[in-house]
Chains A and B, each alone.
Chain A
């Protein structure tokens, strides 16, 4: 036990959650019924805590391609692409991603986490500099630690602070690589990419944008925040995931950079891990096709996001600064967040609890994510449950008329 002694504080916090009877970090879905419903034991719950933005996990075409691929190519590749060979599907998916983004090159990773580990640790070498937005996802921090570059953190969404830090590095040799995200996963806010691009140009730095939560969500064709803000030409590398809008698992990077393919034999998190199985590759390729051909999914998603976000605002919840499919209600503390989560789950609604240090500014969050697959009735039902629990915990004021109207389904 002494080896794990260092986790004593964490362990006490975890045990406390277990003792309440509902631990947000230890949930098991016994059956999943659809993109929006699952069973916990014999209880049916509405899912509002997935990242299933476009609801494609049960799309019939995606499932069919996945099943066909398993039958035709087997369940696993049993090795890495470098040591044991690629399958045609890996190459086709890379071509499809490059085509979707209008880029020359694409590289597929086995998870989104590994895409960040791989790209950040490899792009910036020993004498280079990584500049990370302070609110970056853990995979970005971990990727920066895996490599040998010097890492500087700048204030969240603050181009002036980035400018200041690049100025301090002006006379220091080495390339500068800036890393920001499209939509930040905790509060759902977006990066001011145009301003970041101005700073990047001024200092001759490179720019990596992680579009994990914005691919399939933002932009005219769903390419993400860089497309939405019209700055794609100035983004040197886009990193993303297959596990959210694309309903599978895996990650990728696309770029126009000359010589990009050398990374396949330099990037360790790409080289020394098993490649994605045929079922996932085929499902993801089909899901990408759906993103390209069904823009109505994005419209539906944003309608649902707006309905839910505005609903919580009307009730008096403190929420994130921008409307997005990630909707977080800011809780006064971790205990209230857990209690809120537990009460919602008892009432049949699954959401997420997000606590420091995974959250910015020490915030305790009750995080929801909306899907295109939710019906307006499901969204309204969720709002009614938030109203009920919020009032019972004394977090929001009581407006009888509104509450009854919502519970009646308006």
Chain B
């Protein structure tokens, strides 16, 4: 099952908005730790929501490489493409 980058970006934005305490403008350049103020566990929890939506598992070393939302979209797209 293929998913387009735009579809994945949509899922990431939607999931993030639902888990952030207050609305923040999101883009591919948004830094997940610095701009969103999420700690290491909160990042992993939020990735879990995306995993559920897209039926994939993102290994922890791949999460560790992610700095901004664009990286996350690329990683998820890559994993989804393989699934």
Same complex: yes
A interface residues, Cβ below 8 angstroms from B: 134, 141, 144-145, 150-153, 155, 164-165, 168-169, 356-357, 360-362
Given contacts A134-B45, A153-B44, A168-B55, contact A357 B39 (CB under 8 A): yes
* Distance of A356 Cα from B37 Cα, bound (Å): 12
Q: How far is the CA of A267 from the CA of B29 in the complex (A)?
A: 41
The reply to whether B45 and A169 contact each other, CB–CB distance below 8 Å, is no
Known: A134-B44, A134-B45, A168-B55. A152 touches B39 (CB 8 A): no
Option from A144, A145, A152, A357 in Cβ contact (under 8 Å) with B41: A357
Stretch from B9-17, B57-65, B67-75 at the A interface: B57-65
9 other A-B residue contacts (CB within 8 Å) besides A144-B60, A152-B59, A152-B60: A134-B44, A153-B44, A153-B48, A153-B60, A169-B57, A356-B41, A357-B40, A361-B45, A362-B42
| Contact residues in A for B42 (Cβ distance below 8 Å) | 356-357, 362
Chain B residues contacting A152 (CB-CB under 8 Å) are 57, 59-60
12 pairs from A and B in contact (CB 8 Å cutoff)? A144-B60, A145-B60, A145-B61, A150-B61, A151-B60, A153-B60, A168-B55, A168-B56, A168-B57, A357-B39, A357-B40, A362-B42
**Alpha-carbon gap, A176 to B45, bound state (A):** 22
User: CA–CA, A282 to B83, complex, Å?
Assistant: 53
- In the complex, A153 Cα to B55 Cα: how many Å? 14
Instruction: A319 to B41: give the CA distance in the assembly, Å.
Output: 21
What residues on B are CB-neighbors of A169 within 8 Å? 57
Whole-angstrom distance from the CB of B54 to the nearest CB of chain A? 11
- B-side contacts of A141, CB under 8 Å: 60
- Shortest Cβ distance from A121 into chain B, in angstroms? 14
What is the bound-complex CA distance between A361 and B61, given in angstroms? Answer: 21
The answer to whether residues A151 and B59 also contact, given A134-B44, A134-B45, A134-B48 and a CB cut-off of 8 A, is yes
Q: Is the CB of A151 within 8 A of B56?
A: no
Q: Which residues of A contact B57 (CB under 8 A)?
A: 152, 165, 168-169
Residue numbers in B under 8 Å from A144 (CB-CB): 60
Nearest-neighbour CB distance to chain A for B78, whole angstroms, equals: 14
What 0/1 pattern do residues 31 to 49 of B give for CB contact below 8 A with A?
A: 0000000011110110010
Contacts of B44 in A (CB 8 A): 134, 153
Q: Which residues of A contact B48 (CB under 8 A)?
A: 134, 153, 155
> How many whole Å from B2's CB to the nearest CB in chain A?
17
* A268 vs chain B, min Cβ distance (A): 19
CA distance in complex: A145, B60 (Å): 9
Complex alpha-carbon distance, A145 and B83, angstroms: 24
A7 CB to closest chain B CB (Å) equals 14
B40: chain A residues at CB < 8 Å are 357
A168 (CB) vs chain B CBs: closest residue: B57
A84 CB to nearest B CB, Å:
35
Q: A165 vs B61: C-alpha distance in the bound complex, in angstroms?
A: 16
- Which residues of chain B are within 8 angstroms of A361 by Cβ–Cβ distance? 45
Q: Which residues of B contact A360 (CB under 8 A)?
A: 41
A29 to B48, CA, bound (A): 41
A248 to B67, alpha carbons, bound, how many Å? Answer: 41
Taking the nearest CB of chain B, how far is it from the CB of A90, in angstroms? Answer: 34
Give A164 to B60 CA distance when docked, in angstroms. Answer: 17
CA distance A151 to B57 in the complex (A): 10
Which among A151, A356, A362 is the interface contact of B61 at CB below 8 angstroms?
A151
**Closest residue to B41 on the A side, CB-wise?**
A357
CB A198 to nearest CB in B, in angstroms, measures 20
A83 to B61, CA, bound (A): 33
